[in-house]
Structure 1
Amino acid sequence: EENLFMGNAKKTGPYDSMREYITALEERGKVLRIKEIDQDRYEGTAFVYRMIEKMGADRCPALIFEKVKINGKWMDGPVIANHFCGWETAALLFGVEDVTDDSGAMYRAVMNKLTSFVDDNGKWKKIKPVEYKGEKAPCKEVVLKGDDVDIYKFPWFKNNPGDAAQYINTGAVFMEDPELGRNVGTYRVQVKGKNKVGMNTEPGQHGWHFVMRAVRRGKKSIPAAIALGVDPVVYSMASTKVADLGEDELEYAGGIKGKPVELVKCETSDIMVPAEAEMIIEGDVIAEMEEEGPYGEMYGYMGKKHENYYMIVKAITHKKNPWIFNNFTGVTYTTHMLPWQVGNYLKLKKVLPYMVDFYSPMEAIGISIMSIQKRFPGMGISAGQVALGLTTSKIMIVVDDDVDVTNISDVLHAVATRWQPYPASLIIPQTFNMGIDPSIKQRGISSKIVIDATKQLPIEGGPAEWPLVSKVQLEKMAPESFKLVDEKWDEYWKEWKK
């Protein structure tokens, strides 16, 4: 019990460990502790689905399961889930000073914060990692080797009865290449035995390139380390495509944190890993294929079984009473993708200076919304087409700058009242897309669409004159009305009985 919270976390991030971050969430009332969860009956998964249905993804707390039943055995936690629950938590972990529960405001605050780390040439600030100088790194409080290695000692979840097995799905996988240096990426890891796990590095991902390069050098395996419970900024950079192949994700994490990430050498290889991680699983990725999956993917559909690499585990090191993190993939937010969104925004702003805002809702992968200052016919369609070419979005909704792109109700209202399917749409028949989109026939190939929900000019088929939006009419003709309501807001609710 005493190890669950340390107390007195910093008011805002960046944080040096996941423990510090979770403590900060708890101090803000954003953590729900549950004594027991029977995951053999998929209680945790069903609870998360129901919680989101009743509360909405942005309002749900992080979860701490103190004891979990797995494979017929009750195991001590904590197992922590839904730890990236909405834009308020993003503001907290990236270091916004005044964190509130206003999702739209927090999204923009984090975007502004992260944009400040990017120079005029689009280059992110970097700080190189350093070696940990303490007597014993926290991630090495317990060292297991040889016959003591047993993945099943720890409470990994099988989220769905359709999953092939238990999965380690919150790990940052570290690999090194003599020419490219370090790569840190997040790949799902299937538990296959006490010292064997599957490694799902998809074709084209940086980890896949590292394995392929090792094979071309005549190697039959490549050393790797799975770092679990790394600090939230490191995890975010490992989960997003900010670093190009051959760049070090940890340098970008250091730039955001304002100080270097501290690393310690693995027990069985020269790979350097975060000293503050909860656990390190060390081993060799074998350049042979065997079945991996199926697994419930981030789109909310079951991913297919396919062949992939596997890793033989040689050592496990961890903190005493390690905190285990689980993603309910396809149900909850699994990471904060804002560094990626900042990258998209800056790329688009460079070629579309009249773009005002850009947003990709985490609950609707493949849909993006952009607002523009529309000045002449065709701007909506052309802006949307450019955006589809520079992002992995499948649906690009373009709205006027009076629409809040983070407010889905406002966006849908614009689509319902300003968009005509013809002629204000553009379908691109065949182009690249996310490989795991369940609606596509051929991996990575998809059609895309631009929905131009800006006010159409007469030459575009729109009305000669657009009527005023009712709220705008109110603001123009009774400008003091909202100020009056805001001043009396608390007074209105005094007699309300829930």
Structure 2
Amino acid sequence: MRSFLSELARAGELVSLSEPVSRDYEIAACLAETDSGPALQFERIKDSGAAAMPIAGNLLNSLPRFALGLGTTTEALQETLIAAIERPLPHRVVAAAPCQESVVDTPSLTDELPIPRFFEKEGGPYITAGAIVAKDRATGQANLSIARLMPLGGNRAFVGIAPNHHLAIMARAAHSRGETLDIAVCIGNHPAVLVAACLYLGLGDDELPIAGALLGEPLEVVRCTGSDLLVPAHCECVLEGTLDAGEPYTEGAVSEFHGMYENYGAGIVATFARLTRRRDALFQVILPGYHPEHCLLGGVAIAAGLRRQVRNAVGSVREVAVGVGGAGRLHAVVTLHAPRPGEARKAMFAVWAAVNLIKQIVVVDDDIDPWNPTEVEWATATCAKPDRDHVVIAAVRADRSEPLEQGGTIAKFGIDATRKEGDRPDWDLARPPEAALAQARRILSQHKLI
């Protein structure tokens, strides 16, 4: 994370705040008021005591930030992610690591870490940027994922994971054998680790080597002090513990990606035996709810996985976007190259089959930027006939975080906004000649207008 913060500082996109701020709501308020602006580093946290460490947030709140963090461009971002998924890079185990410079046994989470409280109706503060490493002792299956953690007092925390998430499946499998599941919550990670942790892969597919592929070099990892788990050596803090699927806890209201509160009932509890950290550790937070960083971390990862899956069914797929407008989970845009009749609908059904969360899909031609909502709306306005090109499928199985699900289902909506022969005699756009545009760009660039 530190190398990325340095890049943001060089680009003038990191602001350091020296005025003391409270963990209760003030950090969240600052991040919310600047959620599309610079990254923020809070240097002084009120009443932090032993937990005194700077807090960093709003690091990945735009596509250019993702591209910067992964050493690519916004145009090549999705290809970079897919290439990393398909060609993971084994990590390198090191004997000593910055994240183990200091060790605290049986840590009191809220005393040792400056965990913020974000929203009024939630039951407490949350760790929101914890990349969780887990490994099944019986099968050897490994997992890297992100989940929220709410401290319950002392060294215990509620872990917010849906029942179908791989971490929950692994915890239940361990419980069925009379065991707990070893986990390590890694806080303060390079963007490559965070993005890899958000990918939708198969059960047992380890996301950690994908982080190395995104880095372009083997990720350095170190063995935990109390288990065989391997964690990123250069993260800021690591909570080593176990997850017990036999110890339920009712969380209460929690903010979701769509911006409202949900109440999911009982979840499971983690107990932490040890905290390891850098001596001068930074604490990373991701502002939850309907804010760009939270939405895009899910959306960028989901979109890359969708494109990889959907292109097996529809070869003309060029890109998939899952943007902030649909909360990074609920709406997708698919671009097709020279689609044949029926391919747009085939792409819709392939997306719906792949990810339950996706409710609305717009399919456009590949000269439309799917991440640009204005271009997508233009395509729907000029290329789609509602009576012909709108698709509604009633009563489809929904994810529990769908804000309008009832009885576990929701209707799905698709728009085919691709150009079709016979709709118009031509589809030519009114533009100045290319030679004039090239001359205009030369003139304007001299005046630093473009």
Same fold (TM over 0.5): yes
* Cα separation, 2, equivalents of 1:64 and 1:38: 11
Q: Of 379, 385, 398, which aligns to 1:414?
A: 379
Distance 1:174 1:356 in 2: 32
Q: Look up the match of 1:6.
A: none
Unaligned stretches of 5+ residues in structure 2: none
Contact 1:355 1:373 in 2 (8 A): yes
2:44 match? 67
Residue 348 (structure 2) pairs with residue 391 (structure 1): no
CA distance in 2, matches of 1:164, 1:211: 24
Superposed CA deviations along residues 361-388 of structure 1, whole A, max 9, x for unmatched, are 1442311112223455444333333333
**1:92 lines up with 2:68 in the alignment:** yes
Mapped to 2, the partners of 1:113 and 1:307 lie a distance apart of: 38
TM-aligned CA deviation for residue 322 of structure 1: 1.1
Partners in 2 of 1:207 and 1:376 — Cα distance? 40
* Mapped partners of 1:44, 1:160: distance in 2: 11
| Aligned position for 2:366 | 401
Match of 1:151 among 87, 110, 118: 110
Question: TM-score by structure 2 length?
Answer: 0.90
Task: Tell me how far 1:305 sits from its aligned partner.
Answer: 5.0
Question: Which one of the candidate residues 136, 139, 143 is aligned to 1:183?
Answer: 143
1:300 aligned onto 2:259: yes
Aligned with residue 430 of structure 1, among 378, 388, 395: 395
Listed one character per residue, the Cα deviations across residues 237-279 of structure 1 (whole Å, up to 9, x for unaligned) are 112213x212222222223334333332323333332222211
Pick from 240, 246, 267 the counterpart of residue 204 of structure 2. 246
Matched, 1:228 2:187: yes
* Secondary structure in structure 2 of the residue aligned to 1:450: strand
Superposition deviation, residue 163 in structure 1: 1.3
Letter paired with 2:46: K
Pairing 1:473–2:435 present: no
1:333 aligns with 2:293: yes
The reply to whether residue 83 of structure 1 matches residue 47 of structure 2 is no
What SS does the corresponding residue of 2:403 show, helix, strand or coil? Answer: coil
Which of the numbers 81, 90, 108 marks the counterpart of 1:114?
A: 81
The aligned amino acid for 1:416 is: A
Shift in alpha-carbon separation, 1:415–1:303, aligned structure 2, 3 A:
same
Is the 1:236–1:337 Cα contact (8 Å) retained in structure 2? no
1:43 aligns with 2:20: no
C-alpha change, 1:159 and 1:431, in structure 2 (3 Å) is same
Measure the CA separation in 2 of the matches of 1:377 and 1:231. 43
* 2:228 is the counterpart of 1:270: yes
**5+ unaligned residues in a row in structure 1: which ranges?**
1-17, 97-105, 119-123
SS at match of 1:168: coil
Report deviation, 1:230.
2.8
Give the letter aligned to residue 201 of structure 1.
Answer: I
Tell me if structure 2 keeps the 8 A contact 1:70–1:155. no
The residue number in structure 1 matching 2:243 is: 285
Query: What is the Cα-based RMSD across aligned positions, in Å?
Result: 2.5
For residue 357 of structure 1, give the secondary structure of its aligned residue in structure 2.
Answer: strand
In 2, the alpha carbon distance for the partners of 1:132 and 1:51 equals 38
Query: How far does the alpha carbon of each residue in 1:172-211 deviate from its partner, in whole angstroms, 9 at most, with x for none?
Result: 2222212133222211100111211111222011111111
Q: State whether residues 176 and 183 of structure 1, in contact with CA within 8 Å, keep that contact through their aligned partners in structure 2.
A: yes
Do 1:185 and 1:239's aligned partners in 2 also have CA atoms closer than 8 Å? yes
Q: For residues 396-449 of structure 1, what are the alpha-carbon distances to aligned partners after superposition, in whole Å with 9 as ceiling and x for unaligned? A: 101223322222111111212222221211111122343211111234x32211
Flag the 1:449–1:140 CA change in 2: closer, same or farther, 3 A.
same
Counting aligned pairs with the same residue, the percent is 22
**In the alignment, is the contact (CA less than 8 A) between 2:21 and 2:42 conserved in 1?**
no
Larger radius of gyration between Structure 1 and Structure 2: 1
TM-score by length of 1: 0.81
